[in-house]
Structure 1
Amino acid sequence: MMLLLLCIGWVFASAGVAMLPMRRQYVPGVALLIAAPVLIVAIGMQMGWIYAALGLAAFVSMFRNPLRYIAARLRGEHPEIPQ
């Protein structure tokens, strides 16, 4: 039950952060980006790998642009950040 409440809280927090102006999204967005894999692993341990895979797909879908940015930085590129 606690895992479900944490996941619901994460979803509401991410929806709230998405409504912020772009310049104010960075700090809470990074916190959500770090918290998501922890929740996905917990889902996998409690519910099974299928539910963890679905959570991972949702996570990648929601954070596709920040993940692309991180991947580009790891490759040594310097992508443009929106204003």
Structure 2
Amino acid sequence: MSLSLILAALWALTANVLAMIPSRDNHWRRAYALIAVGIPILGYVTYENGPWWGLAVLAAGMSVLRYPVVYLGRWLRRVVLRG
């Protein structure tokens, strides 16, 4: 197993542990931190293992951080329909 996949697995484990801890802001600060750390890991996975593994890790990350993805989709839809 490559270092990038180990880092991605550790990111997923950390994300799940952070989701179990109660939060006053509905985990948004943690989600922003996970996104900031996860994007370079995603790039590293894609660089080291190819685009299919990159897409698999992207899908796993999107399933963990589903509400930021939902809100991004809603915002994009609102911007596209307005313009």
The answer, yes or no, to whether TM exceeds 0.5 is: yes
Residue 63 of structure 2 aligns with an amino acid whose one-letter code is: S
Other-structure match for 1:11: 12
Other-structure match for 1:81: none
> For the residues of structure 2 that align with 1:3 and 1:53, how far apart are their CA atoms?
14
Please give the root-mean-square deviation of Cα atoms over the aligned residues, in Å.
Answer: 2.1
Residue 66 of structure 1 aligns with an amino acid whose one-letter code is: P
The Cα shift of 1:5 comes to 3.6
In structure 2, list runs of 5 or more residues that go unmatched: none
The total of aligned residue pairs comes to 76
Other-structure match for 1:40: 42
Residues 4 and 57 of structure 1: is their aligned pair in 2 closer, same or farther, counting only changes over 3 Å?
closer
* Identity across the alignment (%): 25
Asked whether the equivalents of residues 17 and 29 of structure 1 are also in contact (C-alpha less than 8 Å), the reply is no
The Cα shift of 1:42 comes to 0.6
Asked whether the equivalents of residues 7 and 39 of structure 1 are also in contact (C-alpha less than 8 Å), the reply is yes
**Greater relative CO, 1 or 2 (CA 8 Å, sep 6+):** 2
Q: Aligned to 1:23, what secondary structure does the other structure show?
A: coil
Normalised by the size of structure 2, how large is the TM-score?
Answer: 0.71
